[in-house]
A and B are shown apart, each in its own frame.
Chain A
Amino acid sequence: MSRDRTPLALGLILAAIVAAGPFLPPWLLFILTLAIARGLVALGLMLLLRAGLVSFGQALYYCIGAYTAGALGIRLGVSDVLLQALAGAGVAALTAWILGFLLARYRGIFFGLLSLALSMILYGLIVKNEALGSTDGLNVLPSTLFGVRPHEGWVRYTVLVAAAGVAVIAALLVHRYLRTPLGRLAPAIKDNEIRVEYMGASARHAIHVKYVIAATLAGIGGALAATTVGHIDPEMAYWTTSGEFIFVAILAGTGSVIAPFLGALIFGAIHTVAYDLSPNTWQMSLGAALLVLIVFLPDGVWSLFARRKAA
């Protein structure tokens, strides 16, 4: 049996970010942090995809995480990155636990569209709510870490390191979860749910758990994105945002917990370059990239690594 290299790889990635961060330009720190935030959402989507479910509504929890972080700063003056991420995770998890009783009953297109509908309801609610800044959104307090406000030039680096730390812990936990009996049920549910039931397991319960974990990760991602960008708006719950997360998850593949972060980084790079070259038609470049990917790497970018390992 081959040794599990994922924890070591995650540790090395974290060390590299901590070591290289101070030498990187602020715009790159920004892209990296945002990639981590998106990667967390995609990591959750990966859990659902492994069970054969596509959520078109992860932006719901991304937005909940972001607004929780924003509200915590504005209403209670809490600007700590980690506390905001924790609160974002908690509110997202609670919401998903409640909605999960409904969603875990559905499969296929019904699951996808119901999740989409729920995120659009949140979008509608925020747009109509003046206290939440309506379509303009809200500005988020400058970040602190453990009660300390980093020096002006070090804010981006501090947030990046905090985000990377949180992401590595999350990835390790998900990695362990995938090796538990409950985690192993995902591909079985995707292949043959009736058999899962006839073996004495509840597919609905397994999906409910995965849905809550996915939402928790999206909530953390949203909170980190809020503090990185410094601004939140209802677009974070819009269906195109959910679409971006699916893009990242498909781009990445479901082979490893590292894949979603790699996918998010590639997405960030394509997005940045495409926007730079043609601000009005960047979506076209993104679409073309996805098309190429589906044709040549149907199992995602991670399949390149998996193939090399198998060879």
Chain B
Amino acid sequence: MAAILDAKGLHKNFGAVTAASDINAAIERDSVVGLIGTNGAGKTTFINMITGYLKPDRGRIHYEGRDITELAPRDITRLGICRSFQIPQLYASLTAFENMMVGVGVVLRNAGLGGFLSRGRPLVPGHDLPAEEAAARILERFGLAEYRDKNAQVLPGGVRKLLDIALTMVAKPRILLLDEPTSGVSAEEKFAIMEMIMKAVRAEGATVLFVEHDMEVVSRFAERVLAFYDGRIIADGPPEVVLNDPEVKRFVVGGELHRIDEAQGRARA
């Protein structure tokens, strides 16, 4: 199957630190890919390069055959590559519904609709509903209807996380990049959040790349896993293969366990 996203030979240095070194990854359409690795391994740098926040020092990124390496984040978003954030990036002073209305408005605007002179209530492309109904529908789909009129800044962590992802889904992405969608969320909520995201994504038919530290979540939801270590991809394949790879066990999964042991050790001390 043809790759929807193709990263070739990506390099990125921050001073003396190498954040990405010869990253090659071809992502197939409608696949669900988990990105694993310890902190600083290069996962977020990879996402930041795809979404245009960082420009690679070397290498190219192609999306559906088009070179997007030099594009600005908003242009990449307009092409259909959308991202969520590890720390939810919301409009804090606005309610959940108003947050959605901003997103819906941008979709309308980018389609040349809803301008100053337009009459009536144009349908939001991809949603086929007027703005207010489209915004309410997304909130509903993510189980956020009860928070509709609450300000984003007072919402609980898990809800903020979902709202951040819901905002990302407004533009009907072709590729969805989720940066630690379950971080800061209780263990019980993790699977529920991932189920909800995957349900929404399956309904839309998008390719998903998600950064995740919880290997249970990765093995359950990812069809393919890219393991990052020290700015490189050290393993690439189905979860059952990658998670059992000796190098991955030593540097990534083991690294996680090691850190957990350390944390427990500190807690006991």
Contact check, B109 vs A191: say whether CB atoms are below 8 A apart.
no
Contact check, A200 vs B94: say whether CB atoms are below 8 A apart.
no
Contact check, B108 vs A181: say whether CB atoms are below 8 A apart.
yes
A136 at the B interface (CB under 8 A): no
- Among listed B35-43, B83-91, B200-208, B234-242, interface-contacting one: B83-91
* Chain A residue nearest to B109 in the complex (CB): A181
A105 at the B interface (CB under 8 A): no
Residue from the list A177, A190, A198 in contact with B82, Cβ < 8 A: A198
Contact with A along B109-141 (1 / 0, CB 8 A): 110001110000000000000000000000000
Q: Considering the chains assembled together, what is the distance between the CA atoms of A185 and B103 in angstroms?
A: 9
A188, A196, A199 pick with most chain B CB within 10 angstroms: A199
B102 at the A interface (CB under 8 A): yes
Residue from the list B77, B93, B102 in contact with A184, Cβ < 8 A: B102
Closest CB in chain B relative to A104 CB, distance in Å? 15
B217 at the A interface (CB under 8 A): no
Q: Considering the chains assembled together, what is the distance between the CA atoms of A181 and B130 in angstroms?
A: 13
* Chain B residue nearest to A198 in the complex (CB): B73
Q: Considering the chains assembled together, what is the distance between the CA atoms of A180 and B119 in angstroms?
A: 11
Contact check, A192 vs B91: say whether CB atoms are below 8 A apart.
yes
Contacts of A197 in B (CB 8 A): 72-74, 77
B170 at the A interface (CB under 8 A): yes
Q: Chain A's interface: helix, strand, loop or mixed, by majority? A: helix
Q: Considering the chains assembled together, what is the distance between the CA atoms of A181 and B89 in angstroms?
A: 19
Closest CB in chain B relative to A264 CB, distance in Å? 25
A177, A181, A192 pick with most chain B CB within 10 angstroms: A181
Contact check, B72 vs A199: say whether CB atoms are below 8 A apart.
no
Residue from the list B51, B77, B92, B104 in contact with A191, Cβ < 8 A: B92
Q: Which residues 183-212 of A sit at the B interface, judged by CB distance below 8 A?
A: 184-185, 187-188, 190-192, 194-202
Contacts of A188 in B (CB 8 A): 91, 94, 102
Q: Considering the chains assembled together, what is the distance between the CA atoms of A87 and B104 in angstroms?
A: 37
Contact with A along B177-206 (1 / 0, CB 8 A): 000000000000000000000000000000
Contacts of B108 in A (CB 8 A): 181
Q: Considering the chains assembled together, what is the distance between the CA atoms of A202 and B74 in angstroms?
A: 7
B83, B109, B167, B171 pick with most chain A CB within 10 angstroms: B109
* Chain A residue nearest to B170 in the complex (CB): A199
Contact check, B102 vs A200: say whether CB atoms are below 8 A apart.
no
A182 at the B interface (CB under 8 A): yes
Contacts of B25 in A (CB 8 A): none
Residue from the list A176, A177, A195 in contact with B91, Cβ < 8 A: A195
Residue from the list A190, A191, A200 in contact with B106, Cβ < 8 A: A200
Residue from the list B73, B90, B98, B171 in contact with A192, Cβ < 8 A: B90
Closest CB in chain A relative to B157 CB, distance in Å? 17
Contact check, A198 vs B74: say whether CB atoms are below 8 A apart.
yes
* Chain B residue nearest to A176 in the complex (CB): B116
Contact with A along B156-182 (1 / 0, CB 8 A): 000000000001001100000000000
B34 at the A interface (CB under 8 A): no
B78 at the A interface (CB under 8 A): yes
Contact check, A191 vs B171: say whether CB atoms are below 8 A apart.
no
Residue from the list A176, A185, A190, A202 in contact with B105, Cβ < 8 A: A185
Contacts known (A187-B93, A190-B93); A199 close to B116, Cβ less than 8 A: no
Contact check, B77 vs A198: say whether CB atoms are below 8 A apart.
yes
Contact check, B90 vs A200: say whether CB atoms are below 8 A apart.
no
Residue from the list A176, A184, A200 in contact with B171, Cβ < 8 A: A200
Residue from the list B89, B93, B110, B116 in contact with A198, Cβ < 8 A: B89
* Chain A residue nearest to B153 in the complex (CB): A191
24 A-B pairs whose Cβ atoms sit less than 8 Å apart in the complex: A180-B105, A180-B114, A181-B104, A181-B105, A181-B109, A181-B114, A182-B115, A184-B102, A187-B102, A188-B91, A188-B94, A191-B90, A191-B91, A191-B92, A192-B92, A195-B89, A195-B91, A196-B102, A198-B74, A200-B77, A200-B106, A201-B106, A201-B110, A202-B74
- Chain A residues close to B by CB (< 8 Å): 176-177, 180-182, 184-185, 187-188, 190-192, 194-202
| The 5 nearest A-B residue pairs measured at CB | A181-B105, A200-B77, A191-B91, A195-B89, A181-B109
